[in-house]
Structure 1
Amino acid sequence: MLWGGHNGSLELRAEGGTTRLRATFPYGAEAEIAPGRFERIAPRAFAARIEAGEDIHLLAGHSYDRPLASRSAGNLRLTDGDDALTVEAEIEEGTTWARDFLAAYRAGLIKGLSPGFRVPRGGERIEQRASGILRTITAAELFEVSTVTRPAYSQAQIEARAWETHQDRQPVRVPVYALNRWRA
C-alpha cells in the first residue's frame, strides 16, 4: 500500500470563539510529486469511507495529537462529489494547537489542504509517459485531512476570509513544491 497526501483550498470564517472552515480538494488535477513522477486523484476516489460514515479527522499538519475536528465529534462534514472533496468544519479555539493553527493561518504560513489516505490493492493505475510516470488513484481509504504549509497542486490553494470588522483577506498564492511521498 502507498500513502499519499495532497493539498486543497481552504476558507476560514471566524465567528466568536468558533472558526468555520470550508475547503475543497479538486479531483482530476495533476501534480508532479517528484521529478518525473506525476499523480492525480480520480473523482470520488474517497467515497467508500465517507459514504460508510467512518470517522475521519481534520488535523493540523497530519498530526493525530493535534486534532481540529472529527466526524465522530460532529464538527466535521465531508462531501465526495464528482469535481472535488469538500470539507466543512467548526474549529473551537479552546486548544493551544487550534489557536496555533489559526495564528499561523492568519500570518500566511499555512495555505494548504492535504488528505491522508491509503491506496488498497487495485486502487491505482500506473502509466508510463514520455515525461515520466503517472499514478492515478481510483480508490483510497481516507483517514484524515490536514491543514499544511506546502500545497502540491497549484489548483488547490487556500483562500481565506476573516469575517471581522474592516478586515477581508484575499487569497495568497503559495508556490508549488514537489513532495516525494512515493514508496517502492
Structure 2
Amino acid sequence: MLWGAHSGGLEVRTLPDGETRLAGRFPYGSATELRGGPNPRREMFAARAFAARIEGGQDIHLLANHDFAAPLASRGAGSLTLTDTDSGLEFDARISAAMREVSFVRDFLGTLAAGLVGGISPGFGVPDGGEEIRREGDGLLRIVHRADLVEISAVTKPAYPQAQIEARAWELTAPARRNLTNPRQRWRA
C-alpha cells in the first residue's frame, strides 16, 4: 500500500450530544512536489482517481496517522461517508461520545485541538496501468489515474519523506507494475 498526502485542512465540530464530526478533502488535479532539486519529482491525482472503490462500496477507514490500531471511523461501521467528485475526495466522519473515551481517540483529538494535526493523507495501491509518468521540464510528473483507496488518515505532517521516494520506481516507460506492500516500500506522510 502507498500513502499520499495533502496539507488540506480538517474541519472539526463537537455537537451537543458529544459526537465529534471531522470533515476533510483531498484535492485532485493539484501537483505536489515530492523531491526538489535539479531533477524534481512531482505527483498529481487525476479526477476521480479513487472512484472504483468508493462507488464499489468497499470498507474504507479513517485512521490517525495511517495506524490501523487507531481507527477513528469506517464505512463498514456507518461512521464514515466518502464522496468522490471531479475536484477531490471529500469525507465526513462521526466520532461518537463513547469513542471519545478511548485513549487513542482522546490523544488524537488533543493533538488536533492543539493544531498539531491538519493534513489529509490517503493510503492506496495503484493497479497495473493506473499511473502515468512523464517528463515535465527537468523532472518527472507522476499522474495517478486509478488507485485502490484502503484508508484515509488525518496526519501530523502531510509530506513524503525523501528516504522512500525511490521505492516508487520512477520510470518514463510504463512496464507492468507490482503493488508494493512491504512497509519499507511505502510512501509515508
State if a TM-score over 0.5 links the two structures. yes
Distance 2:147 2:22 in 1: 23
> What SS does the aligned partner of 2:109 have?
helix
Matched ranges for 1:15-164 at <5 A? 15=15, 16-35=17-36, 36-92=40-96, 93-152=100-159
> What SS does the aligned partner of 1:99 have?
helix
Distance 2:123 2:131 in 1: 16
Distance 2:145 2:101 in 1: 38
What are the ranges of 5 or more consecutive residues in structure 1 without an aligned counterpart?
Answer: 153-177
TM-score (normalised: structure 1): 0.82
Question: Which residue identity is paired with 2:105?
Answer: A
Shift of 1:98: 1.0
Give the total of aligned pairs: 158
Q: Give the corresponding residue for 1:6.
A: 5
* Structure with the bigger percentage of strand: 1
TM-score (normalised: structure 2): 0.80
Shift of 1:34: 1.9
Distance 2:80 2:34 in 1: 28
Shift of 1:81: 0.3
Distance 2:58 2:4 in 1: 19
Shift of 1:43: 0.5
Distance 1:81 1:112 in 2: 19
User: CA offsets, 1:43-66, max 9 Å, x none?
Assistant: 000000000000000000000000
What are the ranges of 5 or more consecutive residues in structure 2 without an aligned counterpart?
Answer: 170-189
Shift of 1:28: 0.5
Question: Which residue identity is paired with 1:25?
Answer: F
> What SS does the aligned partner of 1:150 have?
coil
Question: Which residue identity is paired with 1:150?
Answer: K
Shift of 1:94: 2.7
User: CA offsets, 1:125-144, max 9 Å, x none?
Assistant: 10112231100000000000
Q: Which runs of 4+ in 1 moved over 2 A?
A: 178-182
Distance 2:89 2:70 in 1: 22
Question: Which residue identity is paired with 2:12?
Answer: L
Q: Give the corresponding residue for 2:175.
A: none
Distance 2:146 2:161 in 1: 21
Distance 2:88 2:9 in 1: 10
